[in-house]
């Protein structure tokens, strides 16, 4: 199972007019959907993003928490050795280091990978998946059941870095 939260009522796999940049890709090159290995990791990434933007959690609620199953092969950058082999260090919770990660992600996309799995910058002992979406379809990602609506800020997860 993989997890993602979105603003309440929004399609969790929906597209936006201008694809945003992420740690592993630039929106102008390829759109992507990011998933986390647990709800706690998804919330850690949320808290990291809010801290970077200086936003209080209550301003970004309510949100819907969705579960997904993946049925697709992705590049495995989940270990320190795999990151080193790609010329990267462990991800840090800041946008400042994104260009090096984006270059690797975009290279993997150009090689035909559907996505990649890597350590979470916000919760380093856990994982995130970046699924590339080169067109309208997101292959191998299936939502599981209805979402859970979250109206109050969740407890910050253990092992979180901001």
- The predicted model scores a pTM of 0.95
* Beta carbons within 8 Å of 39's beta carbon, 6+ residues apart: 3, 65, 154
| pLDDT at site 136 | 85
Tens-place pLDDT, residues 96-153: 999 999 999 999 999 999 999 999 999 999 999 999 999 888 889 999 999 999 999 9
Domain that holds residue 98: 2-8+35-150
Residue 28 placed within a domain: no
Residue 17 placed within a domain: no
Q: How many residues does the chain have?
A: 162
Residue 133 placed within a domain: yes
Residue 70 placed within a domain: yes
61: its two tokens = 């609620």
Number of domains the chain contains = 1
Tens-place pLDDT, residues 41-68: 999 999 999 998 899 999 999 999 999 9
| pLDDT at site 20 | 94
Residue 23 placed within a domain: no
Residue 67 placed within a domain: yes
Residue 83 placed within a domain: yes
| pLDDT at site 135 | 87
Residue 62 placed within a domain: yes
């Amino acid at each position: 199972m993989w997890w993602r939260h979105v603003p309440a009522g929004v399609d969790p796999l929906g597209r936006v007019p201008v694809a945003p940049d992420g740690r592993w890709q630039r929106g102008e090159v390829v759109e992507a959907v990011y998933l986390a290995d647990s709800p706690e990791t998804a919330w850690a990434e949320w808290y990291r993003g809010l801290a970077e933007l200086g936003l209080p959690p209550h301003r970004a609620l309510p949100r819907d928490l969705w579960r997904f199953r993946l049925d697709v092969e992705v590049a495995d950058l989940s270990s320190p050795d795999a990151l080193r082999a790609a010329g990267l260090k462990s991800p840090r919770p800041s946008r400042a280091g994104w260009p090096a990660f984006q270059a690797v992600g975009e290279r993997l996309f150009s090689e035909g990978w559907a996505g990649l799995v890597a350590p979470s910058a916000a919760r380093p002992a856990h994982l995130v998946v970046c699924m590339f979406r080169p067109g309208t379809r997101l292959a191998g990602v299936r939502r599981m059941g209805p979402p859970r609506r979250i109206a109050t800020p969740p407890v910050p997860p253990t092992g979180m870095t901001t």
